[in-house]
Amino acid sequence: SYEGQYYKLKDAYFSPPCTQKPHIPILIGGNGEKRTLRTLARFGDICNLDFNLPGSPTIFKHKIKVLERHCEEFGRNPNEIKKTLHMPIHLENDETKAVKYRRIRGEWTLTGSASFIINRIQEYLDVGVEELIFGSVPSKTELYERINNEILSTFI
């Protein structure tokens, strides 16, 4: 039941019911060390750091250390929280264009040749990233296919 300023629900039926127990995973995204990561430590199941802002494997490790301290405060095992990362990706075989794009968008982005991106992804996997969510993805189907065939297939 719910009673708010504009709506009232009495014995509302939730359909379809949640099939995941105890609930659907709660993903909390963001980089804020005082509020976001603390809220994540208390309530979240999935951490999604956002590296649309400057990021690096070192920054990722630092954010996870902050998360671990917050988890300790709540008596929670930080290993219960899946660590994901949101990063821009731009597959560009022309190194001159890739360097120019990284200067504009940021050196931390996944911008460059397939081998460059694979190496950069591996750096993040090595420091504990469990999943990547790509931002600034291409709008053309053939670019998705190239990312899948040239990059993602390496990690399967």
Determine contact, residues 113/99, Cβ cutoff 8 Å: no
Q: Give the CATH superfamily of 26-155.
A: Luciferase-like domain (3.20.20.30)
Question: What tens digit of pLDDT does each residue of 84-138 get?
Answer: 999 988 899 999 999 998 998 888 889 999 999 999 999 999 999 999 998 876 6
* Residue of higher predicted confidence among 68 and 7: 68
Taking residue 41's Cβ as centre, other Cβ atoms within 10 Å add up to: 22
What are the phi and psi torsion angles at 17 (to 5°)? -70, 155
* Model pLDDT for residues 147-156, shown as the tens digit of each residue: 999 999 999 8
Distance separating alpha carbons of residues 149 and 143, to the nearest angstrom: 10
> What rounded mean pLDDT belongs to the chain?
91
Contact, 87 vs 131, CB < 8 A?
no
The domain segmentation of the chain, as residue ranges, is 26-155
- Looking at the predicted structure, is the pLDDT value of residue 69 above 70? yes
pLDDT at 141 (0 to 100): 83
